[in-house]
A and B are shown apart, each in its own frame.
Chain A
Amino acid sequence: MYALTLICAGLANGALYALLALGLVLIYKTQDVVDFAHGELFMAGAYIGFTVYQLLGWSYPLAFVFSIAGGALLGILLELIVIRPVVGHPHVTIAMVTVGVSYTMKGVVRLCFDSDIHTMPPVSNSSVSWGGVVIATQSLINISVAILLTVLILALFQWTRAGLRMKATQQNPRGARVVGIDTGKIYALTWGLAAAIGAAAGFLAAPVTLVYPDMGAQFILKAFAAAVLGGFDSVLGAIVGGFLLGVAELLAGGYISTRLIDVASYLIIIIVMIIRPQGLFGRSAVVRV
C-alpha cells in the first residue's frame, strides 16, 4: 500500500524528468550537443504560464498554449543565434555556451520578476481513488502527457517526412545535406520541439515546485540522470529512465532514508557510468573512447 503510493508519486515526478530528458536526448541525437540550459527552458515555461494566467488574467488553457509556444520560440531563437555558430567546435566550447545562456536567462528572469517565489494552480485539484491509493489528478495528467508526447515523438521519427529527415540528419549531417535536406531547418525544428516539451514540463511542474528563477537547477540534474539511465541517445530510454528515476528516488527515500532522495540522481549517474555507460537502451559505441 505504502509502496504503491510511493510508486504512483514517483511516476508523477518521473513524468516531468522524462519530459526534460526527452528534450535533452532529442538535441543530443541531432546535434551532438548537451544542453545545459534546458533547466532554464523549463523555468521559462513556468514563468510564461505564470505571466499569462496570474498576471494577465487570461484563461488557464491559453496560458498552457502560450507556455509551449513561447518555449518553442525560445528554443528556435537559441539554436539560430547561439548554437548554430558553435556546432563542430570542441565540446567544452558548446557546453559553456549553453551554460552562458542558462545564466543569462536566470538573470533576465530575476531582473523582471525578482527572486520572489510565485505560485501557480494545478490543472485540477481533485484526486482519484484507486485500489486504496489516492492519486492526484494532476499526477495522472503529467504521466499521460509524458507518455503521449513520447509516443508522438517516436511516431514522428517513424512515419513522418520531417521525422525521417531528422533521423537522416542525426546519422550523417553531411550526407543529409547532399541529398537536399535543409539541416538548418532540422536543427531549429529539433530545438523548438525540445524546448516546447521542456516548457510544458515547467508549466506542469509549477504548481508543485513553485515558480522561482532557480527552479531549473534541481531538475536539470535529474533530467541528466534520467537520460543517462535510459541511454543518452535513446528516446525510449528518456521516458523509461525518467519514470525509473522518479520511482527509485521515492522508494529509496521511503524505505531507506529520506536523505537519499536528493542524491539518488547523482548515485544513479555514477553507478550507470561504471556498470553500463550506455544506459538501458543506448548504443555502446556512442560512449566509449
Chain B
Amino acid sequence: MKRLLRHLILPAAFLALCAVPWLSNDYIQYIFNLVLAYVVVAIGLNLLLGFAGQFAFAHAAFMGIGAYTAALLSSRFGVSFFLALPASGLLAMILGMLVALPSFRLKTVYLAMVTMAFAELVQWVLIQWKTVTLGTDGVSMPWPSIWGHTLQGDKEIYYVILPIAFLAYLFARQLLQSRIGRAFVAVRDNEIVARSCGMNVALVKATAFGVSAFYAGIGGALFALALRFIVPDGFGMFQLILHFSIVLIGGLGSLGGSVIGAVVLTTLPEVLRGFQALQEIIYGVSLVIFMLFMPRGIAGFLQAHGWYPREILVRGWREARAGAGYGLATPLFRTEREDGN
C-alpha cells in the first residue's frame, strides 16, 4: 500500500500542477513558468555541485547559451521551438564538457575562478558579437507553434514548460540511482577511492559537467520562452549567484531541495521588484544566515530531522530489502575473469 502511494506522488503532483492555468491570472502564471525553468536549471547545478562536488561558476553562461540558441534559432531561422530546445541543450553540453577540462587538475577555488572567467567571457561574446546575437539590443522569443497551431500566452506555454520540467526531474532521478550517479558522489567524496574502484575520474567529471550544462541549456531555453525577451546582461554574475543561492538554500545534494529553492528564490525577487536596495539586502542577509545556520539548506534541515528522506542511490533497494529474492546463485568470487573490460 505504501509502495503504491509512493509511486503516485509524482503523477498526482503533475496532475495537480496541470490545473494551475485555470486558477491563476497572467502574472501568477508567468511566475509559475519562471519557477519551472529555474527548477531545471537548479537541478543541473545541483548535479554538478551537490552530487559531483565540482565547484564551477559557469552555470549562468550555459543557461545564457541555451537561451540564446533557442531564441536565435526560433526568431532568426524560423526553427521550431521543439527542435531548438534539444539544440540548446546540446550546444551548452558541448561547452560544458570543454569547461570540464580544467577540473581534472585544479582544486576547488581555482576551478571556481577559471570557470568564472569563462562565464564572463561568454557574456562578453554575447554582447560583442552583434551580428549574431544582436548584442545589448536583445533577442525576442517568438511563440512556439505545434502542428500548425501557435501557442500564445503564458498559460498555453505552461503546458510546454511543465512536462519538460517534470521529465527533467525524472531523468535526473534515474541518473542518480545508477552507476553514473554513484560515480558522481564517489568522485565528490574521495577521488583516490574512486580511482581504486575502477572509475575513470576524468570521464566522470566530464559527464557531470556535460549533463549539468545540458540541463542549464534546456532551462535557459525555457527561461527565454517564459520571459519572451532576453539580453546578455541577464546571464552574468547576478544570475549565477541566484543559481547558487537556489541550490544552497534549497539543499545541496537533494533534487527536492532544488525544487524548494527554485520556488522560494524565484518568487522573492518578483515580490520585491523595483526595490533594488531592499532586494539586495534581504538577499544578501538571507544567504549569510542560511550559510551560517542551515548550510545544508532547507532539504538538508528536513532530512536531518527525518521529515524528508534521502533517496538512496541504488535502484530497487526497497524491493531487495523486502526479500524479493534474486533467484541467482552468485558465487562469491571468480578467479577466471574475462579480460578486455
Contacts and interface: CB of A to CB of B under 8 A. Distances in A.
Nearest to B104: A289
B291 A96 contact: yes
Contact of B118 (A85, A99, A270): A270
Contacts of B80: none
A273 B117 CA distance: 10
A103 B292 contact: no
B108 A91 contact: yes
Contact of A273 (B106, B128, B237): B106
Nearest to B109: A34
Interface stretch (B63-71, B271-279, B301-309, B328-336): B271-279
B99 to A, nearest CB: 10
B291 A104 contact: no
A266 B119 CA distance: 9
A106 B237 contact: no
B120 A100 contact: no
Contacts, number: 140
Interface string B289-304: 0011001000000000
A262 B236 CA distance: 14
Contact of A269 (B105, B108, B117, B295): B117
Contacts of B102: 273-274
Nearest to B295: A93
Interface string A255-279: 0000100110111011001100100
Interface residues of B, number: 43
B249 to A, nearest CB: 9
A102 interface: yes
Nearest to B112: A95
A111 B105 contact: no
Contacts of A289: 104-107, 191
A97 B291 contact: yes
Contacts of A105: 284
Interface stretch (B20-28, B134-142, B157-165, B240-248): B240-248
B248 A104 contact: no
B132 interface: no
Contacts of A277: 105-106, 110
A95 B241 CA distance: 11
- Would you call the interface of chain B mostly helix, strand, loop, or mixed? helix
B278 A107 contact: yes
A269 B114 contact: yes
Interface in A75-116: 82, 85-86, 89-97, 99-108, 110-111, 115
Contacts of A90: 295
B244 A267 contact: no
B280 interface: yes
A252 B126 CA distance: 21
Contact of A266 (B118, B245, B277, B282): B118
A232 to B, nearest CB: 7
Best-surrounded residue of A92, A105, A267, A288 (most CB of chain B within 10 A): A92
B202 to A, nearest CB: 11
Given A92-B248, A92-B252, A259-B128, A104 B280 contact: yes
Interface string A141-182: 000000000000000000000000000000000000000000
A82 B191 contact: no
A224 interface: yes
Contact of B124 (A89, A104, A266): A266
A287 B109 CA distance: 9
A250 to B, nearest CB: 18
B49 A92 contact: yes
B286 interface: yes
Given A221-B120, A232-B110, A103 B283 contact: yes
Nearest to B110: A287
Contacts of B9: none
Interface of B: 49, 55, 102, 104-110, 112-114, 116-118, 120-121, 124, 128, 191, 237, 241, 244-245, 248, 252, 276-288, 291-292, 295
10 contacts: A89-B295, A97-B288, A101-B288, A103-B241, A104-B280, A106-B280, A107-B282, A115-B276, A267-B117, A288-B107
7 smallest beta-carbon distances between A and B, as pairs: A107-B280, A100-B287, A103-B284, A104-B284, A107-B281, A269-B117, A100-B288
Given A100-B288, A270-B114, 11 more contacts: A91-B108, A96-B291, A97-B288, A103-B284, A107-B280, A108-B281, A225-B117, A232-B110, A266-B117, A267-B121, A287-B110
